[in-house]
Structure 1
């Protein structure tokens, strides 16, 4: 949980900005898993729930580069709620030794859910803080900025799709042999999965039901 749980004070998100693509001819975009992924007009509009648009997507009939919207998945409080509820149940049965760490983790993730944001811009995923999207600073464990280009992703997974708990990804930007990152899914899991597939390529094993 190197990049999320232990560095909570650095990582603090909120809402998703709706993603919609406009184009009558379709397009191709680069994927970290495949060289070119066809994009058809039938899939040119996606619904990410309650969202807002940050900028218009520009398409070209002549194969020129397509600009993507910045997308920020909405917060999801289910994991903090489950942890705090479990802690409350343990207090009720007088199991304080287990209730304290679970409750503390629940409070930690509750604060993270309120403040931390995953920002998917045109070329990279970046962790930012607050409504003003402030910089999260340098990664305290592996160094470097908390921003990773999609082209450097080697693999990613979402565990578990029906009730997402963790999102994992491995990138070679931090170090050539690959750096692993784990984050608790304190965002809307469907929105997170969809934008990861669109920007980073298909996950090898995960797929929301």
Structure 2
């Protein structure tokens, strides 16, 4: 913050002089003191003689303090392999029971989610949720189902839910950025469920469900 002191351009040193009449002193406002036979010994005062009165003025100008906007940090929940491991374990059990017809799709889904867990990330920046891929957090391109970029502002969120809180499997949210009437999204929870829930509450508002244990 800057403070600027502006005084009149001419200065006088006044010592041991008697003045009769009224002395008017103004410093940052109107504080008037009337006195006679006053000795003025201080220097660097600017005065104007007008009907035996002296007017001492000073003007302060306050600089504007710039307030730096604080942005929220970017949060990337850790990957969580529990769902693909459970699916692959279930597929293994079905194979053991000689139920290959059921084991095949369950095993393929487990392998797909295992692969996605290693590469897909939810990135929560200051204003939006974005789906990115890889350790370098590269852009994921357009959404293959509804089109548009896989990035949605928190302000466009209508509601969201985490199913199920104690062992989250799916995260659901509805947003109006893709289309005005609202677009629904479902994603498997291949991230740390507690971290995901906490950041969703912070950035998108509270959910109807309780947080995961």
TM-score (norm 2): 0.67
How has the CA–CA distance of structure 1 residues 64 and 170 changed in structure 2, closer, same or farther, with 3 Å as cutoff?
A: farther
Structure 2 residue runs of 5 or longer lacking an equivalent are 1-65
Report the structure number with the largest CA radius of gyration.
2
Q: Alpha-carbon deviations, 1:8-64, whole Å to 9, x = none? A: xxxxxxxxxxxxxxxxxxxxxxxxxxxxxxxxxxxxxxxxxxxxxxxxxxxxxx997
More strand by share: 2
Whole-angstrom distance in 1 between the partners of 2:211 and 2:67: 30
5+ residue gaps, structure 1, are 1-61
Q: What TM-score do the two structures reach when normalised by structure 1?
A: 0.69
State the secondary structure of the residue aligned to 2:117. helix
The one-character-per-residue Cα deviations of 1:63-85 (angstroms, maximum 9, x if unpaired) are 97431000000000000000000
Q: Is the 8 A contact 1:159 1:206 kept in 2?
A: no
User: How do residues 176-187 of structure 1 correspond to structure 2 at under 5 angstroms?
Assistant: 176-187=180-191
Residue 200 (structure 1) aligns with: 204
**Number of equivalences:** 148
Quote the Cα distance in structure 2 between the aligned partners of 1:205 and 1:161.
7
Partner residue, 1:98 = 102
**TM-align CA RMSD:** 1.4
Q: Post-superposition shift, 1:140?
A: 1.2
Highest RCO, 1 vs 2 (Cα 8 Å, sep ≥ 6): 1
1:205 shift after superposition: 2.5
Which stretches of structure 1, 4 residues or more, deviate above 6 A after TM superposition? none
Shift of 1:110: 0.1
